[in-house]
Amino acid sequence: MTAMKLSHLLSEAFENVRANKGRSFLTLIGIVIGISSVITILSVGLGVQAYVDDQMSGLGSNAVMISEGNYSIQTRNNQTVSTGDMEEICGLPFVIDCSPSLTEIKIATAENGKTLPLTILGYSAAGIALGGNELIHGRAYTEEEVRNAEPVIVTWSPVAERLFPGEKNGAVGRKIRIDNVTYEIIGEYLEGGFGQSFADQMNYASVPYTAMQLRMSGGNRHHYGMMLAFIDESLLTVEEGMTRIETVLRRRHDIPAGRPADFMITTSKEMIRLVSVVTSTFLIFLSGVAAISLLVAGIGIMNIMLVTVTERTREIGLRKAVGARNRDILVQFLFESAYLSLFGGLIGMTTGLLASFGLTAGLRLIERGFESVRAVVNPGVIAFTVFFAAAFGIVFGLVPARKASRLEPVLALRTE
Partner 1 sequence: MSERKDQNVIHTEHLCKFYPLGDIEVRALNDISIDINYGEFAAIMGPSGSGKSTLMNILGCLDRPTAGKYFLDGTEVSTISDNRLAEIRNRKIGFVFQSFNLLPRITALENVMLPLLYSKNKSHSKERAMEALDQVGLANRAKHKPKELSGGQQQRVAIARALVNDPEIIMADEPTGNLDSKSGKEIMQLLIRLNREKGKTVLMVTHDPKIGAVVPRVISVFDGMLGSQEEQEILQSWRQIDYSQATDEERAAVRDMIAAKAREQEEQDAKNGVVREEEDVHEGNASAADAIAEAFGTSNVSNGTAEPADKGTPQAQG
> In 216-267, where does DSSP find H-type helix?
238-253
Cβ at position 395, least distance to partner 1 in Å? 25
Using CB under 8 A, which of 161, 315, 367, 371 touches partner 1? 315
Which residues, numbered 325-364, are part of the site for partner 1 (CB under 8 A)? 325-328
Of the candidates 105, 76, 86, 121, which has an alpha carbon nearest to the alpha carbon of residue 218? 105
Under rule CB under 8 A, residue 404 binds partner 1: no
Using CB under 8 A, which of 324, 331, 355, 381 touches partner 1? 324
Under rule CB under 8 A, residue 4 binds partner 1: yes
Q: 244 or 320, CB closer to partner 1?
A: 320
Which residues, numbered 14-33, are part of the site for partner 1 (CB under 8 A)? 15-16, 19
Cβ at position 315, least distance to partner 1 in Å? 6
Cβ at position 326, least distance to partner 1 in Å? 6
Cβ at position 10, least distance to partner 1 in Å? 13
Using CB under 8 A, which of 287, 314, 384, 391 touches partner 1? 314
Of the candidates 125, 325, 303, which has an alpha carbon nearest to the alpha carbon of residue 228? 125
Cis geometry, peptide bond prior to residue 158 (ω within 30 degrees of 0) = yes
Q: How many residues bind partner 1 (CB under 8 A)?
A: 24
Under rule CB under 8 A, residue 413 binds partner 1: yes
- Quick one: which segment of 53-61, 149-157, 169-177, 310-318 binds partner 1 (CB under 8 A)? 310-318
Packing angle, helices 21-57 and 379-405, rounded to 10: 150
Q: Which amino acid is at 329?
A: I
* Beta carbons of 366 and 33 less than 8 angstroms apart: no
Q: 19 or 257, CB closer to partner 1?
A: 19
Of the candidates 406, 389, 391, which has an alpha carbon nearest to the alpha carbon of residue 350? 389
| CA 70 – CA 72 distance, rounded (Å) | 5
Give the CA count within 13 Å in the CB-facing half-sphere of 240: 10
Give the CA count within 13 Å in the CB-facing half-sphere of 372: 19
Element (H, E) at 98: strand 95-100
Q: 132 or 317, CB closer to partner 1?
A: 317
What is the CB neighbour count within 10 angstroms for residue 366?
10
Under rule CB under 8 A, residue 310 binds partner 1: no
Under rule CB under 8 A, residue 320 binds partner 1: yes
* Beta carbons of 119 and 195 less than 8 angstroms apart: no
Residues that bind partner 1 (CB under 8 A): 3-5, 8, 15-16, 19, 314-315, 318-328, 408-410, 413
